Structure 1
Amino acid sequence: MRLTRFVHAVRTSLWLVPLLCILAGVLMALGTLSLDRRSGYTLVPQSVTGTPSDAQTILSVFATAMASLTSLVLTVTLVVVQLAMGQFSPRIVAALLSDRFSQLAIGLFGATFVVAVLTLREIRGSDTGTVPGVSVLLTYLLMVASLVTLILFVHHSGQTMRATGLIDLVGDRTRDLIESSFPAAPRPATGADADPDVVSAREPGSVVRVDRARLVAAARRADCVLELVPVVGDFVPGGAPLFRVHPGPRRAGDGAGPAARLRAEEIARLVLVGPERLHTEDASYGLRKLVDVAERSIAQPFDDPTTTLQALHRLHDLLRQLAVRPLPAGEHRDEDGVVRLVERTLSWDGYVRLAFDEIRLAGAASPQVTRRLCAALQDLKSIAPPDRHAPLDRQLRLLTAAVHRAYEDEEDIAAALTPDAEGIGSGADVTTAVRLDRGTPDADVRPGARIPG
């Protein structure tokens, strides 16, 4: 039990690994200094290390820089811990403090500082004198390693500060614990794992990219049809079905399964699975991010509907581009026109719901949001083909009902449902009439009104 407690303390402590690195630096410095003394400081010529004065200046800069970098790493680590506690969970702190990369970075910077200081004490003279060449070269190597580690540490900290980074940190460790603590069950006689016509995901993650051309070529060679189970951007658990394999048109009556002519590992490699969604092939992820910004801005304690309007501007623009474009059918054919790969894709209704559903529910009590939504929906109806009007009409109907639930006064309801491209700023009820003078009495022309003449 004492050994178990010691191992637990080693794994969860922030200070032990850096301390061991510093002790290792002291031992390396003492060893190289002893080697330099025994050789009479002649192993490395001063043409490489520089004069004693040069070496003193360089090592002094190194020592100062390492002290600053060590402070920086400790500060960033504490900032990450504070952000994680405030935005996610206080219980995630232990996982952050036991992060080995951060501990090694602190230890390397501390070891470089110690080696530089100990080597600096051994330099004698100014222009002429002795320079412990091996120790100076060791300091140079540690400094280069520290610079590389600093760049990697900044990248690592940035990744860790993301929600995905923290979730993956806990998820990966728990997954490793499950694999090591629980014995693997025997493969079932039925189910996805035993089905020869199912290709499973090798690792968990979100579908980032699909090499459709090579998948079509592989399905053509095997004379089968591949069905991509997840939509691009979906999270796939490890071992979950990634593809279903169906017989090809010329082998429909063949007794041998089509998966027998496919190598599951090669097929699975043609789908890139990453820790989080990317914009590579996932247009809906851009809408998802804008919706997150919009919804978060009108939630407490932020209460910033103007930021929500800015996100709605871009959502409106994106849907306007999609409204008049054909959406992919999700069928991919080979050179003979035979369907070899099928996948589910987001429909026009799906894009409209993704862009507006959550904002409509969260912003029904904000007149800026409802007015901007009305303006966007009416504009989209003016350019979308008739067969795409139903999702827009649904949004208008639900928005009207939500506004009636949020307000009691009829004037407030009418104002909240007035289309306005700026929330409150360019609607027909808050702008002056346009006057046209064509030699006839002045005519008031408001947005949506028919211009005389």
Structure 2
Amino acid sequence: MPDPNMLAARLAGRAVAYLRSRMWVIPVACLFAGVGLCLGTLAIDRASGYHLLDNGLVGTSSTADSILSSVAATMTTLIPLVLTITTVTVQLAMGQFSPRIVAALLHDRVSQWAMGLFTATFAFAIVAMRNTRASPDGVPGLTVLTAYVLVLASVVGLVLYVHHSSRSLRAAGLIDLVGDHTHREIDRLYPVEPQERPGPPRPKTVDAPPTSATGVRHIVANAGAPGILVRLDLVRLVRLAARADCVLETVPMMGDFVHAGSPLFRVRGEIGRLDQSALRHAVHLGDERTHEDDCAYGIRKLVDIAERSIAQPFNDPTTAVQSIDRVHDCLRQLACRSFPSGRHCDEDGAVRVITRSLTWDGYVRLALDEIRLAGCSTPQVTRRVCALIDDLKSLAPRGRQEPLDRQLRLLEAAVRRTYEDEEDIAAALTPDYQGIGSGSDVTH
């Protein structure tokens, strides 16, 4: 029988992940909040005998009814406006940049809160208008005054939303949206380690549990339905492996597509005590990759934007340089940080779960291989990539220099195949953070 606490935690985690990934959650919650706020203010007005506020402040019953009717009609116009602007932004981003940027736009909290504010004001006005007409004893002053405040908040929210949307329509705005998400995930998954301090020795990890069949590998926990691996419940996996006295090795990597019936784990040790159903429930599959626990996906998006910007019919190398700027920022964060070993231990320090993750070489290839191949004939791109490599080589430790040397060597070979004149080759390989604008050959 599965542990009820673990089952509840798993269900709660899935519910939170589902709600966070849906655009409608905040607007619907604000809708009910608007109804609840109106009912609360009406109850206060009713308890005070409709004399809480003077009519000179909120107007007569007919005046309040007219204003609330106008507010409700205005909100029914603003809500479609938000949806229209969001749709236009998504279409432009899909056509010019990358279809994978759509999820980030749909999950934009500013759009969701703007729509939520308008729906809350609409619901408040509808409920208040009905009760204003039905109250012969007087005007519910607090309710009408709250409606005025919500209208002012909606006007401010509209101005801020239009400003935010206009910024999101810019290439830099969309690139920064992806870059900021990736930056936060790198900080979370690859934290800067504090300086080593003297202290008690750490417990020694054991590569395999004490069992008579440690060398035997079994494949267990086949996937029930296809999907992309988006999250692993590592705490639960470690607990299950410790209980069964074995080591679990994940077969798919974060972001991999898992086919129906394909294996999820290899096991070192006995599998008789493993709860395979619980193992499957500790693996979360989705319909697309997410930034959470998969910061390589953010770099994937930035590379797609850069590559599409270079290709026809867009031919916009300046946008590609802006995307490379954020790729550079991601690699610079990773250059000197410790990478996780992928080994997860139980309380006794024994390794129980082994996962695969990208190495420094993998991140460098993910970030630069396609850009280098697609942009070798574009001087802005080659100069910007040279500046990126030059900066990383000055920062990365000695053990991480070889992948950068490889990229520089391949870039130079590609440029030499593209150009025949030595001056063009030298210009294309000059480091320049602006593409063309800040290199040593164009500045004092």
Question: What's 1:72 paired with?
Answer: 78
The aligned residue for residue 62 of structure 1 is: 68
Q: Residue deviations 1:194-233, cap 9 Å, x none?
A: x98225367845414x343432232021022212222223
Give the AA of the match of 2:230. Answer: V
What aligned pairs does 1:236-315 form with structure 2 within 5 A after superposition? Answer: 236=258, 239=260, 241=262, 243-248=264-269, 251=270, 258=271, 260-273=272-285, 277-299=289-311, 303-315=315-327
Partner of 2:107: none
Deviation at 1:338, TM superposition (A): 4.2
TM-score normalised to structure 2 length: 0.55
Instruction: Classify the secondary structure of the residue corresponding to 1:47.
Output: coil
The residue that corresponds to 1:363 in the other structure is 375
- Please say which structure displays the higher CA radius of gyration: 1
Structure 1 gaps, min length 5: 1-43, 90-104, 125-129, 163-194, 252-257, 433-453
Name the structure 2 match of 1:345. Answer: 357
Question: Partner residue of 1:216?
Answer: 238
> How far has the Cα of 1:416 moved from its partner?
0.4
CA displacement at 1:326 relative to structure 2: 4.6
- Shifted more, 413-422 versus 401-410: the winner is 401-410
Q: Please state how far the C-alpha of 1:46 moved relative to its aligned partner.
A: 7.0
Q: Is the 8 A contact 1:419 1:427 kept in 2?
A: yes
- Percent of paired sites with the same residue: 47
The CA deviation string for residues 338-383 of structure 1, in whole angstroms up to 9 with x for no partner, is 4321222112221111111222233223212201212322443455
CA distance in 2, matches of 1:79, 1:318: 30
Matched, 1:329 2:350: no
1:368-387 equivalences in 2 (<5 Å): 368-382=380-394, 384=396
Q: How many Å separate the matches in 1 of 2:121 and 2:443? A: 63
CA distance in 1, matches of 2:118, 2:440: 62
Kindly indicate whether the alpha-carbon contact (under 8 Å) linking 1:224 and 1:245 is maintained by their aligned counterparts in 2.
Answer: no
1:197 aligned residue (199, 220, 224): 220
* Post-superposition offset of 1:401: 3.5
- Please tell me whether the aligned partners of residues 240 and 275 of structure 2 are also in contact (alpha carbons under 8 angstroms): no
Bigger RCO (CA 8 Å, 6+ sep): 2
| Alignment check: 8 A CA contact 1:207 1:236 kept | no
User: What does 1:87-236 correspond to in 2, within 5 Å?
Assistant: 130=137, 197-200=220-223, 204-208=227-231, 210-236=232-258
Q: Deviations over 1:368-423 (max 9, x none)?
A: 22012123224434554565444333322332233234434332122101233443
**Which residue in the other structure is 1:31 paired with?**
none
User: What is the CA-CA distance between 1:132 and the residue it aligns to?
Assistant: 10
Q: C-alpha separation between the residues in 2 aligned to 1:218 and 1:397?
A: 47
Q: Deviations over 1:169-204 (max 9, x none)?
A: xxxxxxxxxxxxxxxxxxxxxxxxxx9822536784
Q: Secondary structure at the match of 2:49?
A: helix
Q: Tell me the alpha carbon deviations over residues 295-349 of structure 1, each in whole angstroms, 9 at most, x when there is no partner.
A: 3444556554344334434433443443444533323344555432122211222
In structure 1, what residue type is equivalent to 2:429? L
| Structure 1 position 81, deviation (Å) | 4.9
The farther-off stretch of 346-355 and 295-304 is: 295-304
Residue aligning to 1:319: 331
Aligned-pair CA distance for 1:74: 2.5
Question: Which consecutive unaligned segments of at least 5 residues does structure 2 have?
Answer: 1-45, 96-116, 175-217
State the superposition RMSD in angstroms.
Answer: 4.9
Q: Is the 8 A contact 2:321 2:384 kept in 1?
A: yes
Change (3 A) 1:222 1:366: same
Are the structure 2 counterparts of residues 69 and 236 from structure 1 closer, same or farther at C-alpha, using a change threshold of 3 Å?
A: farther
Contact 1:60 1:120 in 2 (8 A): no
